[in-house]
A and B are shown apart, each in its own frame.
Chain A
């Protein structure tokens, strides 16, 4: 899953000269974004190292989903820079230019966002074949292995609408993995699930994190965040108020807004 993709597309304005392992894989600098007259991101900076697992927490409407969507270019930013590997994301405009980025950065959503008209197996194989132009037979093998990994063997020919929420979300994770990405963005992937299905999805994410997949998670599962994350970012009203390793952030928060938030959710 972690094999290195050939570097394609737009190079970053300042090419990396230093040793790759020390440079962060994802780097946001002073990112601003407005929807109409509402400024949703007011100068967000953060970085994620290769193989890192970071969680973004914060109140509803603070811009967490917007940050994720900036990272894979689903929305364009007004100011600042977003760099992922060798891509300067803010310079990618055309759909075609975005393909190599989307190949490296997969995303999993709260509402699963599966293709309802395709079977589970087709959901996994469609994009690698249709977008990346890979050989169907190769993709199929990989897809079957991934379904086994998320413990859904036997559901290949089911349609998403015939599965439980937890199963659909695991299909969505497998679909993201089928792209062989370097990074996966998770946007509140357990928020729509019944409590008994939350753990089956978190278990899959935990495995991925342990295997060294770079993960950026927006989550309300504080205990899970504490367990898997190397670093936690707390957002409020479009800025990152505080960040740090979970041990410190949860035990002795500095910012009063973080304190108030943790009092509410813990």
Chain B
């Protein structure tokens, strides 16, 4: 068996790949933002025992954490495109669908990994020493102020390692985008395979590409962890 990477020098394929990588990174970035919003808000509802919102949050977390993300994506995609909401493009005046494949992938990533993030952040909050919380309460901090100024900043720092794996998981899961026809890096790869039949070589390359994206993400998280490290705290 010989590996043939000649196709890699075709500018068209290069463009497909680069555009695909760009889309994958964008999907992941938007997904991560949404994941954090959902994770923090959900963890706050649970941690602060917000009446009427606790049970829905728990149901949401269990529902999204314990079902395949692919099923969730298809469900979102078919349901939302069925509703058929549209936006008017201010530049061209044309009507474009609100829930494109791209939006659905971002939503699905945000929801699936967000549900996991709720649990991760909650465990971080629980690891904040109760004495620190009592110190804040004794100074007159309300429950919400204590959460915002004391528990959340410390809790988020404590949950960086599991959050890093959640981010890596989100980036990997973004490869489902190809299944709702979003032109991510997997989509580019599929197109190239259809034209060149160099399946093995293309997949090898894609493997390396994902490795580089997730590796970069881990590096960034490590950088952030170093910057926000609390001097003298913990180990």
Q: Which residues of A contact B (CB under 8 A)?
A: 72, 74, 95-96, 98-99, 102-103, 106-107, 109, 111-117, 126-127, 130-132, 158-163, 172, 175, 179
Residues A113 and B132 in contact, CB atoms below 8 Å apart: yes
Residues B140 and A98 in contact, CB atoms below 8 Å apart: yes
> Which single member of A109, A161, A175 contacts B131 (CB below 8 Å)?
A109
Name the residue on A nearest B156 (C-beta).
A117
Residues A179 and B131 in contact, CB atoms below 8 Å apart: no
Q: Which residues from A are CB-within-8-Å of B139?
A: 102, 106, 126-127, 131, 175, 179
Is the contact region of chain B dominated by helix, strand, or loop, or is it mixed? helix
Q: Which residues from B are CB-within-8-Å of A111?
A: 129, 131
Task: Give the docked Cα–Cα distance between A115 and B149 (Å).
Answer: 10
B183 at the interface (CB under 8 A from A): no
Q: Which residues from A are CB-within-8-Å of B129?
A: 111
Q: Which residues from B are CB-within-8-Å of A159?
A: 230-233
Task: Give the docked Cα–Cα distance between A153 and B154 (Å).
Answer: 26
A-B CB contact pairs (8 Å), 30 listed: A74-B134, A74-B137, A95-B143, A98-B140, A99-B142, A102-B139, A102-B140, A109-B134, A112-B131, A112-B135, A113-B131, A113-B134, A113-B138, A114-B135, A115-B132, A115-B136, A116-B232, A117-B230, A126-B149, A127-B139, A127-B140, A127-B141, A130-B145, A131-B140, A131-B141, A132-B140, A158-B231, A161-B232, A161-B233, A175-B139
B153 at the interface (CB under 8 A from A): yes
Task: Given A116-B154, A161-B230, answer yes or no on A130-B149 (Cβ-Cβ < 8 Å).
Answer: yes
Given contacts A107-B138, A111-B131, A131-B145, 6 further A-B contacts (CB under 8 A): A99-B142, A102-B137, A116-B154, A131-B141, A159-B232, A159-B233
Name the residue on A nearest B139 (C-beta).
A127
CB distance from A162 to the nearest CB of B (A): 4
Residues A116 and B233 in contact, CB atoms below 8 Å apart: yes
B157 at the interface (CB under 8 A from A): yes
- What range describes how many residues of B lie at the interface? 20 to 34
B150 at the interface (CB under 8 A from A): yes
Task: Give the docked Cα–Cα distance between A74 and B232 (Å).
Answer: 29
Within B136-176, which residues are at the interface with A (CB < 8 Å)? Answer: 136-145, 149-150, 153-154, 157
Q: Which residues of B contact A (CB under 8 A)?
A: 129, 131-132, 134-145, 149-150, 153-154, 157, 230-234
Task: Give the docked Cα–Cα distance between A159 and B233 (Å).
Answer: 9
Task: Give the docked Cα–Cα distance between A116 and B140 (Å).
Answer: 18
Task: Give the docked Cα–Cα distance between A194 and B114 (Å).
Answer: 45
Q: Which residues from A are CB-within-8-Å of B132?
A: 113-116
Task: Give the docked Cα–Cα distance between A102 and B107 (Å).
Answer: 44
Task: Give the docked Cα–Cα distance between A117 and B149 (Å).
Answer: 10
Q: Which residues from A are CB-within-8-Å of B230?
A: 116-117, 159, 161
CB distance from B91 to the nearest CB of A (A): 44
CB distance from A173 to the nearest CB of B (A): 13
Q: Which residues from A are CB-within-8-Å of B150?
A: 115
Residues B138 and A74 in contact, CB atoms below 8 Å apart: yes
Residues B149 and A96 in contact, CB atoms below 8 Å apart: no
Q: Which residues from B are CB-within-8-Å of A179?
A: 139-140
Q: Output the residue of B136, B140, B153 with the most chain A CB within 10 A.
A: B140
Task: Give the docked Cα–Cα distance between A144 and B205 (Å).
Answer: 59
CB distance from A181 to the nearest CB of B (A): 10
Task: Give the docked Cα–Cα distance between A243 and B131 (Å).
Answer: 30
Name the residue on B nearest A161 (C-beta).
B232
Q: Which residues from B are CB-within-8-Å of A72?
A: 138
Task: Give the docked Cα–Cα distance between A150 and B153 (Å).
Answer: 28
Q: Which residues from B are CB-within-8-Å of A117?
A: 153-154, 157, 230, 233
For the complex of A and B, the 3 pairs showing the least CB-CB separation, nearest first, are: A161-B232, A113-B135, A102-B140
Q: Which residues from B are CB-within-8-Å of A106?
A: 138-139
Task: Given A159-B232, A161-B232, A162-B231, answer yes or no on A115-B140 (Cβ-Cβ < 8 Å).
Answer: no
CB distance from A79 to the nearest CB of B (A): 23
Task: Give the docked Cα–Cα distance between A33 and B169 (Å).
Answer: 49
